[in-house]
Amino acid sequence: MRIVAGSRKGHRIEAPPGVVTRPTGDRVREALFAIVGPLEEARVLDLFAGSGALGLEALSRGAASCVFVERDRGAARVIRSNLEKLRLTGAVVVAGDVVPALRDETARGRLYDLVLVDPPYDEWAVHEPELATMLPPVLAGDALVVVETSERIEPDLPLDLVTTRRYGSARITVFSQ
């Protein structure tokens, strides 16, 4: 897997071993960031970060900061390793569940310009109600939320739908504040 664009374009990144983590493919990442547009100085929150590919891509494309939230400690170690290897700064890796992390971000008053949400495909229905209540308080005024799900799932969040597109077995749905 490689970084698609930006300051680290072409650099290889590692993915956690095993089948639990499903890294977002290059083609889908390229399409996602074409929809999102410029990221200069953006504050990014990467939920269910997995390999960290989405947040790493955002940092490579000029985001000022990224908080990666990943419950699997092995995957969190891989994200840290990728950050070191790519010499990307402005990143924090939170090894824990999304709900406590979102509570903490809300309590600290942190706001994000871009939130990337890529849970395991078969867990979307479990997380959708929690995300519906917990995402709005961490969104900056003109924030975007990008959700990756299985192509069969159409996420529904209390935000404005910008677009939804299918890419093979994946669906990218973009919401705005």
Topology of domain 26-176, CATH: Rossmann fold (3.40.50)
> Where does residue 163 rank: exposed (0-12), middle (13-18), buried (19+ CB within 10 A)?
exposed
Per-residue pLDDT reduced to its tens digit, 19-45 = 455 566 778 888 999 999 999 999 999
Span 76-102, mean pLDDT?
Answer: 96
Contact (Cβ atoms closer than 8 angstroms) between residue 58 and residue 32: no
Per-domain residue ranges of the chain: 26-176
Give me the pLDDT at residue 19, please: 46
- As a whole-number percent, the residues of the chain with pLDDT over 70 amount to 96
In this predicted model, what pLDDT tens digit does every residue of 80-90 receive, in sequence order?
999 999 999 99
Q: Which helix (H) or strand (E) holds 166?
A: strand 160-167
Q: Tell me how far apart the alpha carbons of residues 87 and 31 are, in angstroms, rounded to a whole number.
A: 25
Strand blocks (E) in 1-118: 43-47, 65-70, 91-95, 112-117
Q: Rounded distance, CA 76 to CA 16, Å?
A: 9
Burial of 31 (0-12, 13-18, 19+ CB in 10 A): middle
Q: What is the tens place of the pLDDT at every residue in 107-134?
A: 999 999 999 999 998 899 999 999 999 9
**Does residue 8 register a pLDDT over 80?**
yes
Q: Give 124: exposed, middle or buried? Use CB within 10 Å, 0-12, 13-18, 19+.
A: buried
For all residues of the chain together, what is the average pLDDT?
93
